[in-house]
């Protein structure tokens, strides 16, 4: 009898153990406080760098990357740490039978060193953070300047000798085509605070045998300088679009000056931007505005090459001429800005694009994230803000104090963090580089530039920051005592 009871007990224990194992494998766990089985969740933690310590509350869960199973549903304080790095912390929610993924955990080093780029000294510069080009301009003689174009790895891409005069507070602006091959280099002089276009050159950076072409003397641009100041590029050709005196949309090739009529439009038309061909039967599109009044504008497009037809995209309420146009990398989302108000249009190529009005005046527009889902800008009340397309909402992760001014910003390569420069009002020579995640958490000062820059230099706060794909920061500095070559460059790795 005793042997029979032992046998039955063993079988019952085996069955219960098997049930427990099956439930555990399916994500269930016995909760002794509730005295019942509960469904659990999984936390999947990845970080840069790997090998960082994972803490949930006060419990140690080892090193990243790691999947942590059988967690009771609820909120946890997740902390990730590593020696010589700033800690990362955020509240996470575990859901039953689901995997919570934390893939955008970036630990920033406590010591970041600025490295000078010795070979790059310039009398003037242009930084293109979107295309990743750095251009320097230096006088070669009284009538010639040397324009050198570098990648963000500081490899020289091309170099040109151009007839131009760098006197009278001259400056340069370079506008790149969508595929980053062609460019228009505009040289300005400033007299009595007035900025005047002096020269404009067309450049083909992939064809070093082609001589730069001076555009201000071309017949097509004599009455339409705006086509040079804010060029509307063809998606692939070395050509821009403009509206002539008869309100006809024209395409002008910059390499040979050939002019092609695109569309006879009527009054109050402004070409805005182009999108490339997409899909098997898709065509490139030229988008343009047609203003019915000072505040009402219709956004339209015509396909390229044009068949003299156009289609309405959206009706917008915008005051004044559009002065800022920024397309996402996939060219499916666009920011349209005027001094008074701004609009964001997403899903341009769909049958029903989404239009979002920015609710407050913009101080500075920065640009789209690498994935094209978020648009970053500064508000007039000194906030860092962005529009999130996936959530169709505006977020405000940072507001500066009255004693400081935000200079510029750029997206981290993961799009989960914003790096930005801040200068104290009382000490304009001291500029800090800070970082914050898109939820407004993990706010850090990662670089105090005044401690590392030479004593006679300070950060050029008017120039953009460049965040490279390999997690380097590029800043330009100014030496106001050096009248010949005031600009230099520094880079800092923060991976």
pLDDT tens for residues 432-454?
999 999 999 999 999 999 889 98
Question: Using an 8 Å Cβ cutoff, are 256 and 210 in contact?
Answer: no
Which residue shows structure tokens 């000194």? 382
pLDDT for 18: 57
pLDDT tens for residues 359-411?
888 999 999 999 999 999 999 988 999 999 999 999 999 999 888 999 999 99
Q: Is 224 helix (H, G, I), strand (E, B) or coil?
A: coil
What DSSP letter does each residue of 31-85 carry, written as one string?
A: ETTTTEEEE-EEEEEEEESSS-EEEETTEEEEESSEEEEEEPSEEEEEEEE-TTB
pLDDT for 369: 96
pLDDT tens for residues 226-253?
899 999 999 999 999 998 877 888 999 9
Which residue shows structure tokens 């109050």? 268
Q: What is the mean pLDDT of residues 159-166?
A: 83
pLDDT for 19: 54
- Annotated domain spans of the chain: 24-106
Closest CA to 149 of 166, 165, 172, 178: 172
**Region of poorest pLDDT, from 214-218, 225-229, 237-241, 319-323:** 319-323
What DSSP letter does each residue of 341-407 carry, written as one string?
A: -EEEEE-TTSSS-EEEE-SS-EEEEEEE-TTSSEEEEEETTSEEEEEETTTTEEEEEEE--TTEEEE
Give percent of the chain above pLDDT 70.
89
At 323, the pLDDT band (50, 70, 90 cuts) reads: confident
Which residue shows structure tokens 């020579």? 429
pLDDT tens for residues 176-208?
999 889 999 999 887 777 788 889 999 998 887
Whole-prediction pTM: 0.88
The rounded distance, in Å, linking the Cα atoms of 213 and 200 is 8
Q: What is the mean pLDDT of residues 142-168?
A: 85
pLDDT for 298: 84
Q: Is 187 helix (H, G, I), strand (E, B) or coil?
A: strand
Give percent of the chain above pLDDT 90.
48
pLDDT for 31: 59
Closest CA to 228 of 260, 196, 206: 196
Q: Which residue has the higher pLDDT, 263 or 232?
A: 232
State which CATH number among 1.20.120, 1.10.10, 1.10.1740, 2.60.40 fits the domain covering 24-106.
Answer: 2.60.40
Report the sign of the C-alpha dihedral through residues 324, 328, 407, 402, in that order.
positive
The rounded distance, in Å, linking the Cα atoms of 21 and 292 is 71
pLDDT for 190: 77
């Amino acid at each position: 009898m005793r042997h029979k009871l032992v046998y039955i007990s063993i079988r019952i224990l085996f069955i219960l153990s098997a049930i427990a194992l099956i439930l555990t494998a399916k994500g269930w766990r016995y909760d002794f406080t509730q005295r019942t089985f509960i469904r659990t969740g999984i936390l999947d933690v990845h970080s840069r760098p790997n090998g960082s310590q994972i803490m949930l509350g006060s419990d140690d869960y080892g090193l990243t990357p790691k999947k942590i199973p059988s967690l009771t549903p609820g909120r946890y304080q997740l902390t990730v740490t590593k020696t010589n790095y700033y800690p990362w912390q955020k509240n996470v929610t575990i859901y039953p039978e689901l995997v919570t993924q934390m893939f955008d955990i970036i630990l920033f080093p406590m010591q970041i060193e600025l490295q000078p780029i010795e070979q790059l000294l310039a009398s003037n510069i242009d930084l293109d953070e979107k295309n990743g080009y750095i251009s320097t301009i230096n006088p070669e003689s009284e009538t010639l300047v040397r324009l050198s174009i570098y990648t963000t790895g500081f490899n020289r891409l091309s170099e040109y000798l151009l007839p131009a005069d760098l006197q009278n507070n001259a400056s340069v602006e370079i506008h790149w085509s969508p595929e980053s091959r062609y460019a228009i280099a505009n040289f300005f002089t400033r007299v009595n605070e007035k900025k005047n276009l002096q020269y404009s050159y067309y450049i083909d950076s992939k064809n070093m045998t082609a001589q730069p072409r001076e555009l201000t003397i071309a017949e097509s641009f004599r009455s339409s300088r705006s086509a040079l100041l804010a060029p509307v590029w063809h998606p692939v050709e070395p050509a821009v679009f403009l509206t002539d005196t008869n309100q006809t949309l024209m395409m002008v090739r910059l390499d040979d000056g050939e002019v092609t009529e695109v569309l006879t439009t009527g009054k109050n038309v402004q070409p805005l931007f182009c999108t490339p061909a997409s899909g098997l039967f898709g065509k490139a599109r030229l988008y343009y505005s047609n203003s019915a009044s000072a505040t009402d504008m219709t956004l339209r497009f015509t396909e390229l090459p044009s068949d003299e037809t156009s289609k309405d995209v959206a009706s917008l309420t915008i005051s004044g001429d559009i002065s800022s146009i920024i397309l996402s990398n996939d060219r499916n989302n666009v920011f349209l800005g005027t001094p008074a108000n701004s609009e964001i249009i997403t899903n341009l190529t769909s049958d029903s694009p989404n239009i979002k009005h920015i609710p407050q005046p913009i101080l500075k527009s920065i640009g789209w994230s690498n994935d094209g889902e978020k648009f970053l800008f500064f508000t007039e009340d000194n906030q860092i803000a962005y529009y999130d397309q996936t959530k169709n909402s505006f977020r405000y992760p940072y507001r500066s104090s009255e004693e400081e001014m935000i200079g510029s910003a750029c997206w981290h390569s993961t799009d989960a963090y914003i790096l930005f420069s801040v200068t104290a009002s009382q000490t304009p020579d001291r500029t800090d580089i800070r970082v914050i995640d898109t939820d407004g958490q993990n706010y850090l000062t990662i670089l105090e530039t005044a401690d590392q820059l030479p004593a006679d230099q300070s950060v050029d706060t008017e120039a953009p920051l460049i965040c490279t794909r390999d997690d380097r920061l590029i800043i330009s500095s100014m030496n106001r005592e050096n009248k010949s070559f005031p600009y230099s460059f520094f880079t800092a790795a923060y991976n």
